[in-house]
Each structure stands twice: as structure tokens, then as C-alpha cells.
Amino acid sequence: MWCFILAELLVFGVFFLAYAFARTHDVELFNASQLELDRTSGFINTMLLISGSYFVVLAVDRIRHGHSRACTRWLIAAMACGAAFLVLKLVEFSGKIEAGISMSTNTFYMFYLGLGFFHFMHVVLGMVILGAVTLKAWRGGYRASDYAGVETGAAYWHMVDLVWIVLFPLIYLLN
């Protein structure tokens, strides 16, 4: 899993740097387009992913002590945060699409929509992984002596969070 996570980080890193250096060619366009974004939505989404990661940490701690039910509850809480993130992101994207904005509108929106959708799909995959882990935990499939699956799912979810922690200031805040 860590090789997979590292590969994901490298891909996101290349996209982030492509955005940052593409911006140097047309700073005014990037700044003007960035002002059209819903910064508050990005802020709430950051809080949601951070909280989701925290709940996953609690889930790992609970299963480490053999508390399968409590682990399940924290995993469900983390997935609720992920689901809220996805809903907010869909609202954000649909608003842009209704305004006639697409990836071909300009270079900034190509990155905003491309990176946003790429990360969105990673949150979806993270939810699928956490869902599978939750189901197994709910069925009592993990024990204090055997919970590697929970840790693996947690590592992926934290990677999705880590990427968003860089993406949020890059796309929404810095100008």
C-alpha cells in the first residue's frame, strides 16, 4: 500500500507544480479566476477531511484495543465526513457547469476542474476502501492482534487528506 500511496503523491505533486508554474505565465488570469471560486466551500471541505482523518485515527485506536463496535462507529463517522465532502464538491462543480465554465474555459479552470475531479475520485476510492473495512469490522473480522486491514485503509484515507491539505491553499487561497 505504501508504494501505491507514494505513486499517488508523486502524481499529485506533478499536477501541483504544473499548476504553480503554469500560473507564472498568466498571473492575472489565475488571480481573477480564483476570485470566482467559493473559498468558504473549500474551507468547509478541508475541515471535513481533517475531521474524517481524525475519526479514522480514533477507529484504529479502538480496534487496537479490541473494540470492534467502536471502531465501526468511528469509521462510519469518517465516511460521513467523506460523503459531505463529495456533496459539497458536487454542488461546487455543478455551480461552475451551470455558469458555463468548463475545462476549456481557461488554463486556471482546466487545473481547478481537472485536479478537483482527480482528487474527488480519490475520495470516492477512499470511501470504497473504508466501506469494505467498516463492513469487516462490523462483522468482527478484526481483532486487537490482527487489524492490518484497518491500518491500510487508514493510510490511504490520510493520503487523500494530505493531498487536499496542499490543494486547498494552492487553488483557493494563494494568489
Partner 1 sequence: MKAATFNWLILMALTALSFGVAEAGVPGGAALVPVLLATLFKGRIVIDHFMALQGVGGAWRWVVLGWLLLVLGLIGYAFQYAQT
Using CB under 8 A as the binding rule, whether residue 20 contacts partner 1 is answered as yes
Using CB under 8 A as the binding rule, whether residue 7 contacts partner 1 is answered as no
Q: Is the distance from CB of 116 to CB of 157 less than 8 angstroms?
A: no
Residue selected from 4, 32, 39, 69 as contacting partner 1 according to rule CB under 8 A: 39
Using CB under 8 A as the binding rule, whether residue 53 contacts partner 1 is answered as yes
The smaller minimum CB distance to partner 1, of residues 113 and 161, is found at 161
Using CB under 8 A as the binding rule, whether residue 72 contacts partner 1 is answered as no
Using CB under 8 A as the binding rule, whether residue 54 contacts partner 1 is answered as yes
| In the block, residue with C-alpha cell 469490522 | 137
Residue type, 59: A
The smaller minimum CB distance to partner 1, of residues 64 and 136, is found at 64
Query: What phi, psi does 163 have (nearest 5°)?
Result: -65, -45
Query: What phi, psi does 146 have (nearest 5°)?
Result: -150, 90
Sorted by sequence, the CB contacts under 8 Å of residue 127 that are 6+ apart come out as 79, 82, 83, 86
> Which residues in 114-173 contact partner 1 (CB under 8 A)?
155, 158-159, 161-162, 165-166, 168-170, 172-173
